[in-house]
Chain A
């Protein structure tokens, strides 16, 4: 099965594991997706390799940022109809609290869905979604201008 077929299959069966298995970076983070109805939550289980500051200890900002971006990409694959992998245009990460050595979750919100660009807000949290450890705002290119025109 190629990527496009896997994406369509994951949407139909609601089993995202085969797709996560196909994306090495998602496997590297041991990414898990928990999708109940229209509630999308991603999880990055704690692993010692994710530590940035061994003295505290605290998760590496790059691990949290990578998880946020990866959660955003899978949210779009789940939420959109296109079978293309969305391309990140830019991301802004705000680090709000130190990431403790425990599982981290991410909730993703579509701020604006356009024809070509989607703007997402991702909130990463540990103990409670009310206390995010980091937020990310990012623009994703959904498809090239030429194919957007064809479909409009």
Chain B
């Protein structure tokens, strides 16, 4: 499976700007890792500030929830090739094994049903392969009011907002 991870790829650069549109994503240092119609991957760098268990150094599950929530938004936008205002309605997450301390965590997501009102997504958090997951998850997003804009329009808006 080829993954487009080239940071010089203009499309990847644009989606990276969308990935860090939220202050919380920037705070966690999330970086776009790969973008494909059927699998979008975001990297969460290991951060000692987000350790949940001080005896083991394992990061708190809240980081994985935030990572997957961000991946889901991206996967829906990538499937639409547009941005549309939406909100998380429901998100479930199963923790299969602890993340390895010191290692970055990848979150991958796929939008498997795109409706008029709702989008259904599933994903996983892992180090090396989604086949050996730290957590598996699914979620439902609801589109809210507001304009639908293209990726290019969104990137232009973001650049205009820069100080």
Chain A residues close to B by CB (< 8 Å): 2-3, 22-25, 27-29, 48-55, 58-63, 65-67, 69-70, 73, 85, 87-95, 98
A23 in complex: contacting residue of B22, B26, B54, CB < 8 Å: B54
Chain B positions within 8 Å of A85 at CB level: 52-53, 55
* Contact assessment for A65 and B62 in the assembled complex, using a CB-CB cutoff below 8 Å: yes
Chain B positions within 8 Å of A66 at CB level: 60-63, 65-66
Q: Choose, from B3-11, B32-40, B83-91, B108-116, the stretch at the interface.
A: B83-91
CB distance from B83 to the nearest CB of A (A): 11
Chain B positions within 8 Å of A92 at CB level: 90-93
* Contact assessment for B49 and A54 in the assembled complex, using a CB-CB cutoff below 8 Å: no
Size class of B's contact patch?
35 or more
Decide if B51 is an interface residue (CB 8 Å cutoff). yes
Chain B residues close to A by CB (< 8 Å): 21-27, 48-55, 59-63, 65-70, 85, 87-95, 98
* Contact assessment for B54 and A24 in the assembled complex, using a CB-CB cutoff below 8 Å: yes
* Contact assessment for A62 and B69 in the assembled complex, using a CB-CB cutoff below 8 Å: yes
* Contact assessment for B23 and A91 in the assembled complex, using a CB-CB cutoff below 8 Å: no
Chain B positions within 8 Å of A48 at CB level: 23
* Contact assessment for B90 and A93 in the assembled complex, using a CB-CB cutoff below 8 Å: yes
Known: A65-B66, A65-B69, A69-B60. A51 touches B22 (CB 8 A): yes
Chain A positions within 8 Å of B23 at CB level: 48-52, 54, 60
CB distance from B7 to the nearest CB of A (A): 24
CB distance from A63 to the nearest CB of B (A): 5
User: What separation, in Å, do the CA atoms of A60 and B66 have in the docked complex?
Assistant: 8
Name the CB-closest residue of B to A25: B60
Chain B positions within 8 Å of A89 at CB level: 94-95
User: What separation, in Å, do the CA atoms of A59 and B65 have in the docked complex?
Assistant: 14
Chain A positions within 8 Å of B67 at CB level: 62
User: What separation, in Å, do the CA atoms of A27 and B48 have in the docked complex?
Assistant: 11
Chain B positions within 8 Å of A60 at CB level: 22-25, 66, 69
Chain B positions within 8 Å of A54 at CB level: 21-23
* Contact assessment for A63 and B54 in the assembled complex, using a CB-CB cutoff below 8 Å: no
Chain B positions within 8 Å of A91 at CB level: 61, 65, 92-93
Chain A positions within 8 Å of B60 at CB level: 23, 25, 66, 69-70
